Amino acid sequence: MKIDPGSGELGLADNHPLSLRGARGLRVVCTAGTIWLTEDGEPGDVFLLPGQSHRLAGNGLALVESIGGGKMRLERPERLAVLRRSVQRLIDVCCPARRLGVS
């Protein structure tokens, strides 16, 4: 299943984990119930209550599951993209030689 992180809230069924791959930087936000998640290569599991969130650190397998009919929202790391664009604009203005690929 392909999930669009901007599409809104997802209701999860107990004992039916959602698999995420290549999701580094994606934020999992618990909106209801309890959400359990674990990431390949990361120590320990994470339990989220309503209002809490967790940013995925790796691009490996992450499993997300509900405990008691939980709901969640996935958010893209938009602020990082905005920051990168701002830094690039600053470089373009302050260092035009870098923009042209000249050292």
Give the model's confidence band at 69: pLDDT under 50 very low, under 70 low, under 90 confident, else very high: confident
CATH code of the domain in which 59 resides:
2.60.120.10
Predicted local confidence at residue 5, as pLDDT: 56
Question: If you search the block for the tokens 């998640």, which residue do you land on?
Answer: 37
Is the per-residue pLDDT at 103 higher than 50? no
The answer to the question of residue 103 being in a domain is no
**pLDDT for position 81:** 62
| Range of the structural domain that residue 20 is part of | 9-76
Q: Tell me: the pLDDT tens digits for 23-49?
A: 888 899 999 999 999 999 888 999 999
Q: Total domain count for the chain?
A: 1
1: pLDDT strictly greater than 50 = no
Distance, in Å, from the CA atom of 3 to the CA atom of 11, rounded to the nearest integer, reads 13
> Percentage of the chain surpassing pLDDT 70?
78
- Across residues 72-90, what is the average pLDDT? 73
Higher pLDDT, 79 or 64: 64
Higher pLDDT, residue 89 or 56? 56
Residues 6+ apart with CB under 8 A from 15: 65
What pLDDT, on the 0 to 100 scale, is given for residue 8? Answer: 73
Nearest to 27 by CA among 57, 66, 61, 69: 57
Residue 13 lies in a domain: yes
